Amino acid sequence: MFDPKKFTTPQPKPLPVVLLLDVSGSMSGSKIDNLNKAVEDMLDTFAQEEKMETEILVSVITFGSQVDLHLPYTKASQVRWQRFQASGSTPMGTAFKMAKAMIEDKNTTPSRAYRPTIVLVSDGHPTDSWKEALKDFVSTGRSSKCFCMAVSIGHDADEEVLRRFIANTPFLAQNHPNKVFYAENASQLHAFFQKVTMSTLLRTRSSAPNDVPAVPPDIQLDGGSVKPNVSGSASDDDGYW
């Protein structure tokens, strides 16, 4: 006899993307407007690219007058974006602690998920105790295995912090070491978030989404789609936790 309980649709595996965004007072004006627009464009592209096998879950942690879970893990197509405002100082260390707690919690970031991509955006220096929090994030537990990217809004951000943050993600492009990106204007910030978008979409199309994404330097987004097909050796298909 046919038993429908034995035939269930497999759940797509989540690929988390966590944004750590500086919304301190120095980000006011065009900086915060450009950041909001760049994130919105990224979310739109993610929503267009949702696949049966993989779902992109986006979370946003902001740090300014307070550290806030601005957006808990949400499917890109279901995000109702709430624009953020700039105010306060730069409690980056506390943001690292919040992000680590979220990643280490298997109820929040399940073991079946692929390795998260963590994106740090800042235009200044941390105003709280950050060294131990950052060391803990990049050196221990599940957070140490995340793919990390960082962008400095202008050249006033603390480069030491940003370099330490990305140190464990050696390659984000073929034959190109991971590096801190710099955005002096809206177009450069948009270009950085396109890199985040491209590396994430390439992972959803790869046979080995837990491998470091190999992003050709000349890759372009075309109508929300990634042109090349990327494959890799199968590794850790059941999640890396």
Per-residue pLDDT tens digits for 109-157? 999 999 999 999 999 999 999 999 999 999 999 999 999 999 999 888 8
pTM exceeding 0.95 = no
Element (H, E) at 92: helix 92-104
d(CA 114, CA 65): 32
Domain 24-226 sits in which CATH superfamily? Answer: von Willebrand factor, type A domain (3.40.50.410)
Burial 24-47 (b: 16+ CB within 10 A, else e): bebbeeebbebbbebbebbbbbbb
> Where exactly are the structural domains of the chain?
24-226
Structure token digits, residue 67 = 């550290």
Structure token digits, residue 66 = 């307070």
Alpha-carbon torsion 28, 34, 38, 41, what sign?
Answer: positive
Are 134 and 34 in contact by the 8 Å Cβ rule? The answer is: no
Report CA Rg, the chain.
Answer: 18
How do residues 15-47 score in pLDDT, each as one tens digit? 999 999 999 999 999 999 999 999 999 999 999
d(CA 217, CA 226): 13
Query: What does the pLDDT read at residue 205?
Result: 80
Structure token digits, residue 148 = 């990390």
Element (H, E) at 130: none
